[in-house]
Structure 1
Amino acid sequence: MTREPDTAANPGGGPADSLAKSWEPGAVESALYQGWVDAGYFTADPHSDKPPFSIVLPPPNVTGSLHMGHALDHTLMDALARRRRMQGYEVLWLPGMDHAGIATQSVVEKQLAGEGLTRDDIGREAFIERVWKWKAESGGTIGGQMRKLGDGVDWSRERFTLDDALARAVQTIFKRLYDDGLIYRAERLVNWSPVLQTAISDIEVKYEDVEGELVSFRYGSLDDAEPHIVVATTRVETMLGDTAIAVHPDDDRYRDLVGTALPHPFLDRTIPVIADAHVDPEFGTGAVKITPAHDPNDFEMGVRHALPMPSIMSKTAEIENTGTRFDGMDRFTARVRVREALAEQGRIVEEKRPYLHSVGHSERSGEPIEPRLSMQWWVRVESLAKASGDAVRAGDTVIHPASQEPRWFAWVDDMHDWCISRQLWWGHRIPVWYGPEGQTVCVGPGDTPPEGYVQDPDVLDTWFSSALWPFSTMGWPDATDDLAKFYPTSVLVTGYDILFFWVARMMMFGTYVAREDAGDGGVLGPRGQVPFQDVFLHGLVRDEHGRKMSKSRGNGIDPLDWVERFGADALRFTLARGANPGSDLSVGEGNAQSSRNFANKLFNATRFALMNGAKPGGLPPRDRLTAADRWILDRLEQVRAGVDESYERYEFGKAAEALYHFAWDEVCDWYLELAKVQFAGEGDGSGETGFRAEATRTVLGTVLDALLRMLHPMIPFVTETLWKVLTGGESLVIASWPVADADTAADPEAARQVADTQKLITEIRRFRSDQGVKPSQRVPARLGALEDAGLVPLEGAVRSLARVTAAEAGFTATASIEVRLSAATVVVDLDTSSTVDLEAEKRRLTKDLAAAHKELAGTTAKLGNEAFLGKAPEQVVEKIRGRRDVAAADVDRLEARLAELGQPAEGGAR
Structure 2
Amino acid sequence: MTDNTQRPHDGQTSAPDLPTTYAPADVEGPLYERWVERGYFEADAKSDKPPYAVVIPPPNVTGSLHLGHAFEHTLIDALTRRKRMQGYETLWQPGMDHAGIATQNVVERELAKEGKSRHDLGREAFVERVWQWKAESGGQISGQMRRLGDGVDWSRERFTMDEGLSRSVQTIFKRLYDDELIYRAERIINWCPRCLTAISDIEVEYDEEDGELVSMRYGDGDDSIVVATTRAETMLGDTAVAVHPDDERYRHLVGRTVRLPLTDRSIPVVADAHVDPQFGTGAVKVTPAHDPNDFEIGRRHDLPAITVMDEHAVITAAGPFQGLDRLEARSAIVAALRAEGRIVAEKRPYRHSVGHCSRCKTTIEPRLSMQWWVKVGPLAKAAGDAVRDGRVAIHPQEMEKRYFDWVDNLHDWCISRQLWWGHRIPVWYGPNGETVCVGPDDEAPGEGWTQDSDVLDTWFSSGLWPFSTMGWPEQTPALEKFYPNAVLVTGYDILFFWVARMMMFGLYAMDGTPPFHTIALHGMVRDQFGKKMSKSFGNAVNPLDWMDTYGSDAVRFTLARGANPGIDVPIGEDWVQASRNFANKIWNATRFALMNGATVEGELPPAEQLSAVDRWILSRLGRTVAEVDALYDDYQFAKLSDALYHFAWDEVFDWYVELSKTVFFAGGEGARVSGRVLGEVLDTLLRLLHPVVPFVTETLWTTLTGGESLVVADWPADSGFRDPAAEAEIAEVQRVVTEVRRFRSDQGLQPGQKVPARLTLDGTLLAPHEDAIRQLLRLQPAADGFHATASLPVAGVTVELDLSGAIDVAAERKRLAKDLGLAEKEKADAGRKLGNEAFLAKAPEKVVAGIRARLATAEADIERLSAQLAALPRA
CA shift in 2, pair 1:478/1:894, >3 Å? closer
CA shift for structure 1 position 846: 6.1
* Residue in structure 1 matched with residue 739 of structure 2 by the alignment: 763
Q: Name the TM-score, length of structure 1 as normaliser.
A: 0.89
Equivalent position to 1:314, from 310, 313, 334:
310
Equivalent position to 2:606, from 610, 617, 621:
621
Per-residue CA shift, 1:263-283, capped at 9, x if unaligned? 111222211111112111111
* Residue in structure 1 matched with residue 849 of structure 2 by the alignment: none
Does 2:716 align with 1:738? yes
Determine the C-alpha separation between the residues in 1 that align with 2:731 and 2:149: 39
Determine the C-alpha separation between the residues in 1 that align with 2:801 and 2:56: 63
CA shift in 2, pair 1:652/1:887, >3 Å? closer
Is contact 2:820-2:866 (8 Å) kept?
no
* Residue in structure 2 matched with residue 572 of structure 1 by the alignment: 556
Does 2:687 align with 1:709? yes
CA shift in 2, pair 1:894/1:429, >3 Å? closer
Per-residue CA shift, 1:851-873, capped at 9, x if unaligned? 99999999xx9xxxxxxxxxxxx
Determine the C-alpha separation between the residues in 2 that align with 1:718 and 1:21: 13
* Residue in structure 2 matched with residue 340 of structure 1 by the alignment: 335
Q: Map 1:178-257; keep pairs closer than 5 Å.
A: 178-221=177-220, 223=221, 226-257=222-253
CA shift for structure 1 position 159: 0.2
CA shift in 2, pair 1:113/1:624, >3 Å? same
Q: Secondary structure in 2 aligned to 1:28?
A: helix
* Residue in structure 1 matched with residue 513 of structure 2 by the alignment: 529
Determine the C-alpha separation between the residues in 2 that align with 1:14 and 1:101: 60
Does 2:150 align with 1:151? yes
Q: Which amino acid aligns with 1:142?
A: I
CA shift for structure 1 position 842: 4.5
- What are the ranges of 5 or more consecutive residues in structure 2 without an aligned counterpart? 1-10, 833-859
Is contact 1:492-1:534 (8 Å) kept?
yes
* Residue in structure 1 matched with residue 783 of structure 2 by the alignment: 808
Does 2:633 align with 1:659? no
Q: Secondary structure in 1 aligned to 2:510?
A: helix
Determine the C-alpha separation between the residues in 2 that align with 1:423 and 1:592: 44
Determine the C-alpha separation between the residues in 1 that align with 2:114 and 2:333: 38
Is contact 2:12-2:595 (8 Å) kept?
no
Determine the C-alpha separation between the residues in 1 that align with 2:805 and 2:80: 60
Q: Map 1:116-515; keep pairs closer than 5 Å.
A: 116-221=115-220, 223=221, 226-320=222-316, 322-452=317-447, 453-515=449-511
- What are the ranges of 5 or more consecutive residues in structure 1 without an aligned counterpart? 1-11, 516-527, 682-688, 862-885, 903-910
* Residue in structure 2 matched with residue 40 of structure 1 by the alignment: 39
Determine the C-alpha separation between the residues in 1 that align with 2:315 and 2:865: 92
Q: Secondary structure in 2 aligned to 1:19?
A: coil
Q: Secondary structure in 2 aligned to 1:766?
A: helix
Per-residue CA shift, 1:654-674, capped at 9, x if unaligned? 110000111111111111111
CA shift in 2, pair 1:442/1:163, >3 Å? same
CA shift for structure 1 position 891: 12
Is contact 1:208-1:359 (8 Å) kept?
yes
Q: Which amino acid aligns with 1:271?
A: I
* Residue in structure 2 matched with residue 835 of structure 1 by the alignment: 806
Superposition CA RMSD, Å: 2.5
Is contact 2:85-2:712 (8 Å) kept?
yes
Is contact 2:111-2:118 (8 Å) kept?
yes
Determine the C-alpha separation between the residues in 2 that align with 1:164 and 1:40: 25
* Residue in structure 2 matched with residue 674 of structure 1 by the alignment: 659
Determine the C-alpha separation between the residues in 1 that align with 2:433 and 2:812: 102
Does 2:751 align with 1:775? yes
CA shift in 2, pair 1:89/1:835, >3 Å? same
* Residue in structure 2 matched with residue 870 of structure 1 by the alignment: none
CA shift in 2, pair 1:779/1:513, >3 Å? same
Determine the C-alpha separation between the residues in 2 that align with 1:652 and 1:643: 9
Q: Map 1:2-81; keep pairs closer than 5 Å.
A: 16-81=15-80
CA shift in 2, pair 1:849/1:177, >3 Å? closer
Q: Name the TM-score, length of structure 2 as normaliser.
A: 0.92
* Residue in structure 2 matched with residue 591 of structure 1 by the alignment: 575
Per-residue CA shift, 1:342-389, capped at 9, x if unaligned? 111110111111211110001111110000000000000000000000
Is contact 1:573-1:714 (8 Å) kept?
yes
Determine the C-alpha separation between the residues in 1 that align with 2:453 and 2:107: 19
The alignment-based identity, stated in percent, is 63
Equivalent position to 2:588, from 580, 604, 607:
604
Q: Which amino acid aligns with 1:544?
A: Q
Is contact 1:852-1:890 (8 Å) kept?
no
Determine the C-alpha separation between the residues in 1 that align with 2:750 and 2:321: 87
Q: Secondary structure in 2 aligned to 1:636?
A: helix
Is contact 2:63-2:139 (8 Å) kept?
no
Determine the C-alpha separation between the residues in 2 that align with 1:75 and 1:887: 45
Q: Which amino acid aligns with 2:190?
A: N
Is contact 1:771-1:837 (8 Å) kept?
no
Does 2:534 align with 1:550? yes
Per-residue CA shift, 1:845-904, capped at 9, x if unaligned? 86899899999999xx9xxxxxxxxxxxxxxxxxxxxxxxx9999999989867x825xx
Is contact 2:465-2:502 (8 Å) kept?
yes
Does 2:622 align with 1:644? no
CA shift for structure 1 position 214: 0.8
Per-residue CA shift, 1:283-319, capped at 9, x if unaligned? 1111111111111111111122221111111011111
Is contact 1:388-1:508 (8 Å) kept?
yes
* Residue in structure 1 matched with residue 522 of structure 2 by the alignment: 538
Is contact 1:771-1:840 (8 Å) kept?
no
What is the count of residue pairs matched by the alignment?
837
Q: Which amino acid aligns with 2:772?
A: A
CA shift in 2, pair 1:487/1:14, >3 Å? farther
Is contact 1:262-1:272 (8 Å) kept?
yes
Q: Secondary structure in 2 aligned to 1:796?
A: helix
CA shift for structure 1 position 580: 1.4
CA shift for structure 1 position 168: 0.5
CA shift for structure 1 position 34: 0.1
CA shift in 2, pair 1:331/1:410, >3 Å? same
Determine the C-alpha separation between the residues in 2 that align with 1:147 and 1:103: 24
CA shift for structure 1 position 692: 1.3
Shifted more, 770-779 versus 271-280: the winner is 770-779
Determine the C-alpha separation between the residues in 1 that align with 2:574 and 2:217: 59
Per-residue CA shift, 1:428-463, capped at 9, x if unaligned? 000000000000000001211221211111100000
Shifted more, 180-189 versus 346-355: the winner is 346-355
CA shift in 2, pair 1:844/1:357, >3 Å? closer
Determine the C-alpha separation between the residues in 2 that align with 1:889 and 1:154: 63
Shifted more, 671-680 versus 199-208: the winner is 671-680
Q: Which amino acid aligns with 1:500?
A: F
CA shift in 2, pair 1:303/1:669, >3 Å? same
Is contact 2:13-2:595 (8 Å) kept?
no
Equivalent position to 1:818, from 766, 786, 793:
793
Determine the C-alpha separation between the residues in 1 that align with 2:373 and 2:812: 84
* Residue in structure 1 matched with residue 855 of structure 2 by the alignment: none
Determine the C-alpha separation between the residues in 2 that align with 1:471 and 1:581: 26
Q: Which amino acid aligns with 2:239?
A: T
CA shift in 2, pair 1:115/1:49, >3 Å? same
Does 2:874 align with 1:901? yes
* Residue in structure 1 matched with residue 772 of structure 2 by the alignment: 797
CA shift for structure 1 position 837: 2.4
Per-residue CA shift, 1:120-171, capped at 9, x if unaligned? 1111111011000000000130110010000000000000000001111111
Q: Which amino acid aligns with 1:422?
A: R
